[in-house]
Amino acid sequence: MLRIIVIIVAIALAGLGLSWLADRPGDVVLTFQHWHVRTTLTVAAIALLALVALLVLLVGLLRWLLRSPAALSGYFRTRRRSRGFNAVTQGMIAVGSGDVRRAQRQAAEAEKILGSEPLALLLRAQAAQLSGDRAGAEAAFRLMLEDPETRPLGLRGLFVEARRRGDARAARMLASEAVKTSPTLPWAGTALLEFQSLEKDWAGALATLARNADHRLIDKDTARRHRAVLLAARGIEQAERDRAGARASLLEALKLAPGLVPAAVMAARLLSESNEIRKASKILEAAWRLSPHPDIAETYMNVRLGDSARDRLTRIQSLAAQAPGSPESGVALARAALAARDFTLARSSLTPFLASGATERVCLLMAEIEEAENGSTGKVREWLSRAVRAPRDPAWTADGVVSDVWLPASPVTGHLDAFEWKMPVERLGAPTDSYADDVLADIDEPEQPRLVEAEVVAPAAVQDALAPAEPPEAPETPPAAEPAAPEPKAEAAKVEPLKPLARRAAPITPVLPSHPVPDDPGTGPDKANTVVRFPING
């Protein structure tokens, strides 16, 4: 609307100007050598305007002629570039839909048209990965390293390929380079932290964690928890050689995560050795209220060396009262009562957990109570038999791996703070390799202990209880053939444990009697020293 008004005003002004010139006639005289031109003022003005318009047209035509080659070249270049990006678009769609042939065809066309354009290189790498051409994908990602803008993308692609082929050393180097190139990359900071944790580079891991928190790659609560885990791991490792440093690290970890069981147990041990019984007890009580655990109960019961069994029972009773109804409270109280020869209390402590399905540990503990109170009876064998088929007890578990000791990172994925105290998942077999194997092999450390099948023999007291009295003389019978040796189980994943903490008592594997008794059908030949093998993971 405004533009229309302006045009109307301009036309009106032009009309007024021409009218003004027509009302005021005048002459214009132009003399040039022998030329003498005389005309009116209106005609002279019209001729001047026409001349200006002609000059403008001539200048525009000249500029178009001069610029036409570049314009024509730009037109064809733009058209070619449009074709290249269209090929990239179609190729990405093919990659997303899993059409390998079309993706490769479009990638070749895009690379032919666009050359080293980042999107063309990305399409080439994606098509190569889709077709299983790892070498082609790595070649495309290496080309991306030459351009500062695409360098982070190239490092990410090479890192993924290194992880796929199991090259932990190369993956770690790429993660470190990515952190230097762009500290705000979440994947790089997380990967570097996991590698440093598996390598037990606690100082480097703490520095990386602080950098990740500064760049807001992780939230504050996660940063606090991970820092506590790293400090606990460092303190447990250096407890033997630097007790003062270990104590400082563990106490700082407990300030960040009071319920971190390994830190609480090791810190209480160090404080107990320094005769700081009250402080050690408070730490264990705080951790127990948050996370009841058998290691806490064991350490709390023995926090003061030299106490009698009755004193330890009194201490455990006060601890169990802080987590009533917890299975760990009942088991801890039953163990302390058994050591104090208070069989009534031991039985009553376990009674609530028998009706809901006694676990392996509860069954074995009931067998110990029966054996200690009544000697070798059918009840002992009954509880031992139930223990074999009982549900499993909680254990330190991460990514399907069960460990006797807490570890700061998963040996399978490398994730920090992955181990949890929970019921292990039943599985058919243990993995034969893990992500930790590659890392540990690459940093040239000695072979680590393995998580393998448990091989446990019943205590001598239980064996004596199970051993039957001398049988009456009977006709000699030919000895039964020795059973074939069990085939060895497949070894589970290698795990590098930290210094073992106070652990729950090893489960008792029943040794069946060699002769039948009235309430036990028996199993045949004498195998008093038979070792029953069963895997830790079920």
Distances (CA, A) of 29 to 24, 242, 366: 16, 111, 132
What is the C-alpha to C-alpha distance for residues 308 and 304, in angstroms, rounded to an integer?
10
pLDDT at 496: 43
pLDDT at 256: 95
The answer, as to whether pTM is greater than 0.75, is no
Pull the structure tokens for residue 522: 């028996």
Instruction: For the beta carbon of residue 410, count every other beta carbon within 10 angstroms.
Output: 26
Residue pair 209/227 in contact (Cβ under 8 Å)? The answer is yes
pLDDT at 23: 72
Nearest to 513 by CA among 362, 389, 373, 382: 382
Q: Is 230 exposed, middle or buried (0-12, 13-18, 19+ CB in 10 A)?
A: buried
pLDDT at 71: 74
Distances (CA, A) of 204 to 27, 160, 201, 229, 414: 95, 22, 5, 14, 16
Residues 6+ apart with CB under 8 A from 491: 430, 432, 450, 452
SS3 422: strand
Nearest to 51 by CA among 63, 41, 43: 43
What is the C-alpha to C-alpha distance for residues 261 and 111, in angstroms, rounded to an integer?
56
Residue pair 508/462 in contact (Cβ under 8 Å)? The answer is yes
Residue pair 510/456 in contact (Cβ under 8 Å)? The answer is no
The full set of domain ranges for the chain reads 357-467+492-538
pLDDT at 426: 58
DSSP 344-412: HHHHHHHHHHHTTT--HHHHHHHHHHHHHHH-S-HHHHHHHHHHHHSPPPPEEEETTEEESS--SB-TT
- Helices and strands: H and E segment counts in the chain: 21, 7
Query: What count of Cα atoms within 13 Å lies in the side-chain half-sphere of residue 79?
Result: 6
pLDDT at 235: 94
Q: Tell me the angle at which helices 220-237 and 243-256 cross, rounded to the nearest 10 degrees.
A: 160
DSSP 282-293: HHHHHHHHHS--
pLDDT, tens digit only, all 538 positions of the chain = 788 998 898 888 878 877 777 777 777 777 877 787 777 777 777 788 888 889 999 888 888 888 877 777 777 778 888 888 898 899 999 988 889 899 889 988 888 888 878 888 888 898 998 888 889 899 999 999 988 888 999 999 999 999 988 898 999 999 999 999 999 999 999 999 999 998 999 999 999 999 999 999 999 999 999 999 999 999 999 998 999 999 999 999 999 999 999 999 999 999 999 999 999 999 999 999 999 999 999 999 999 888 899 999 999 999 999 998 889 999 999 999 999 999 999 999 998 888 777 889 999 999 999 999 888 778 899 999 989 988 889 999 998 899 989 999 998 888 999 999 988 875 434 444 444 444 334 434 433 433 433 333 334 433 443 444 444 444 444 444 444 444 444 344 344 444 444 444 334 333 333 333 333 433 343 443 333 333 433 3
Distances (CA, A) of 91 to 123, 143, 378, 380: 7, 19, 74, 71
pLDDT at 193: 93
Assign 3-state DSSP to the chain and report helix, strand, coil percentages, each to 5.
Answer: 60, 5, 35
Long-range contacts of 314-318 (CB under 8 A, 24+ apart): none
pLDDT at 300: 94
Pull the structure tokens for residue 301: 């019961």
